[in-house]
A and B are shown apart, each in its own frame.
Chain A
Amino acid sequence: MAQTPAVEPFSTRESWLGRLNRRTAHGDRPFWVLVLLFALAIIGLVGAVGLVVYVGSAEARGLYGLSFLTGTVWNPVATEVREASYGAWPAIRGTLLSSLIAVLLAGPLGILIGVFLSELCPLRLRTPLSFMVELLAAIPSVIYGLWGVAVFVPFFRDYIADPIANSLGTNLPWLAGPVATGRGLMAAGMVLALMILPTIAAISRDVLAVVPSSQREVLMALGANRWEVIWQSVLPYARAGIIGAVMLGLGRALGETMAATMLIGNSTRIEQSLFAPATTAASLIANQLPNANDALHESALVYVALVLFGITLLLNLIARLLVWQVSRGPIGRV
């Protein structure tokens, strides 16, 4: 028997392979790393998008700075007497107003649908109705746009916009005519409302469904009726989630491009009336970027994208604050 080299019987040292083997034996650590990478990729993606729109808008940012936000003229063509100049206010205003109209209409309606589905709906109806709501959320926006142009807008023009413009509109400038094609802020906002309604309804339903039964039973024990239980106990308990649902809907309305382009009339001039054509940031970019006149025009459009990015971030922040604010304090009141 050859002499074996002396080996320490209880070595505290371990080869790197052994260490790796031991650490990965249960698969926890690699899984942790993998999941971390995915999570970091999200941050990287947001950063990359931000970087691209920031760099791409350099020329317009240098030229206009922050006054871009309040500039009301969007003139992509230089003439003998008029400079090409870009201001994002028409796009910002159109984006905010059309989304606001959408949320004002779809918010209450969506929450009520959610309440019905989770609290009041007979069991037999619940599944088909919920399914329909989810189906509505899955319809591509171009189909909403098409339906809006072909069906909704003619109806809206003849039976809603024209009568309002001819009666109330004669005194209120923001409801004034001429209605013309019917396409404008109001029409776009109403179809957007329809598009975000299922999102708000479906999430509200899910949020309300996880409200613990004790929350309802307490008030029932005190002799409250259905309405009082929902209004004073269930809804307040779920308020953070409901605000989240509305914000998600708002996010969808802000970024909607196709349906907005088809319905808003695409005019970069600011007119007071809600029935007049306007534009949104997303539709302005989609319309003009592929065939921009020159480098500055392109840069200004990317700047609009940066502004839209900023608006979205800001709204998310506000939503967070709102959720945080309302989730403090006592739940429900009697």
Chain B
Amino acid sequence: MRKTLGMLSLLLLAAALVGTLAPARSAVAQEWEPRQLTASLKGSGATFPNPLYQTWIQVYKNVVPGVSITYQGVGSGQGIRDFIGYLTDFGGTDAAISASRVETEAPDALHVPTVLGAVVPIYNVRGNPELRFSPETLAGIYLGSIRTWNHAAIAADNPGVRLPNQSIVVVHRSDGSGTTSIFTDYLSKVNAEWRENVGSGTSVDWPVGIGAPGNPGVASTVLQTAGSIGYVELIFALANGLSYGPVQNASGNYIEASIASVTAAAAGIEYPASLAVSITNPPGPRAYPIAGFTYLLVRQNTYTDANKASALTDFIYWGLTEGQGGAARLGYAPLPDDLRALAIGQLRKVEVNGEKVFDGPVK
């Protein structure tokens, strides 16, 4: 009796999970169902999408019980190394592999964007004013040319706000990170001095400030230090109830980061065939400017096991379609429709021995 109850509750739980994550399931079901294969897939990489991928994997287990997937959040850099070294079946990374590296080390790598993330400025200023930032101000603060909170540039961004005469303490990530990569890529695009003297990458030569490890390290340092400013992932700020400032985008509008404004950042951009492109400072009028993709890496034609390749492409397709609703609920911004079509197009390129393994509908 107890066993039956246990089974029943498990089933209910599974149904609830599938239900919450896949509201569009019934609509899609007529057109496409993942193939019921048996395979085990291994992946590693970026930590930012790790909670989402773990949820996808858990729920997908109920959709296709034969396929078991593991994903380890070891960081983008290690994920790329593992993928290039054929230690994993797929990789995860926040920053696209550079074009030159693709050419020399991973000519068969396909970038499949899965969701979007954003980076938001958090601050701790005397009097708790609500601040917003223009690109020049953010760059000036991180370059060390703006040193106090009542600087004219900050005042110009925030008309009517009382600003204290307080020194700015700049906080950045100490560990190499995709968050830093997106943030510095943005600063490079909007500020020539930053582009020439600092540049963008997972670790950079910061002109000022102190480094703290991880999103939690930056957030706790900012909370602890009067007059400080830092940057964290949007999803981290949302999960911990941190308040963050709107940032002025390329159209001149101050946009607060939200799932909608981050999704808008990826819309209306001309994408190259590789999809490996930075989308910071996008043109959309309602787009939040400090946003970026997180990618899954799959191999175009070097899988040897058609079964495995089919299972993998099915899983990613499922994530790109039914998994997107769940992504939004976890705080990740889903892909805009036109981009999702391009991402699915990447999956359709996967071949084993010259035979396509996947032809799910593009939608």
Contacts and interface: CB of A to CB of B under 8 A. Distances in A.
A81 interface: yes
Interface residues of A, number: 37
A161 to B, nearest CB: 13
Interface stretch (B55-63, B218-226, B279-287): B218-226
B202 interface: yes
A293 interface: yes
A180 B169 contact: yes
Contacts of A291: 75-78, 175-178, 202-203
B221 A181 contact: yes
Contact of A267 (B77, B197, B209, B228): B209
The dominant DSSP class at the A interface is loop
Given A76-B201, A180-B225, A268-B205, A290 B210 contact: no
A288 interface: yes
A40 B177 CA distance: 40
B206 A267 contact: yes
A82 B197 CA distance: 6
Interface residues of B, number: 41
A283 B207 CA distance: 19
B210 A287 contact: no
Contacts of B220: 149
Interface string B317-350: 0000000000000000000000000000000000
A77 B196 CA distance: 10
A294 B177 CA distance: 13
A289 B78 CA distance: 9
Interface in A64-86: 73-82
B106 interface: no
B41 interface: no
B174 A292 contact: no
Contacts of A81: 196-197
A75 B174 contact: no
A79 B188 CA distance: 10
Contacts of B310: none
Contacts of A267: 206, 209-211
Nearest to B46: A291
A180 B210 contact: yes
B186 to A, nearest CB: 14
Interface in B115-141: none
A252 B171 CA distance: 28
Contact of B174 (A178, A181, A184, A261): A261
Interface in A264-308: 265-269, 277, 279, 283, 286-294, 297
Contacts of B206: 267-269
Contacts of B75: 290-291
Interface string B165-187: 00101010011111000001000
Q: Which of B78, B220, B224 has the most CB of A within 10 A?
A: B224
Interface string A142-174: 000000010000100000000000000000000
A78 B199 CA distance: 7
A183 B204 contact: no
B203 A178 contact: no
A145 to B, nearest CB: 10
Given A181-B221, A261-B213, A77 B78 contact: no
B74 interface: yes
A77 B200 contact: yes
A263 to B, nearest CB: 10
B198 interface: yes
B153 to A, nearest CB: 20
B177 A77 contact: no
A288 B204 CA distance: 10
Contact of B201 (A181, A279, A293): A293
Given A74-B205, A288-B203, A293 B176 contact: yes
A79 B198 contact: yes
Given A81-B197, A287-B175, A265 B203 contact: no
B119 to A, nearest CB: 15
B195 interface: yes
Given A76-B201, A76-B203, A77-B205, 6 more contacts: A265-B211, A266-B212, A277-B211, A288-B176, A291-B203, A293-B77
28 contacts: A75-B205, A76-B201, A77-B198, A77-B199, A77-B200, A77-B201, A77-B205, A82-B197, A154-B224, A180-B167, A180-B210, A181-B225, A183-B210, A266-B211, A267-B206, A267-B210, A268-B206, A269-B205, A283-B174, A287-B203, A287-B211, A291-B77, A291-B175, A291-B176, A292-B176, A293-B176, A293-B203, A294-B98
* 5 closest residue pairs by CB, A with B: A266-B211, A291-B176, A266-B174, A77-B199, A79-B199
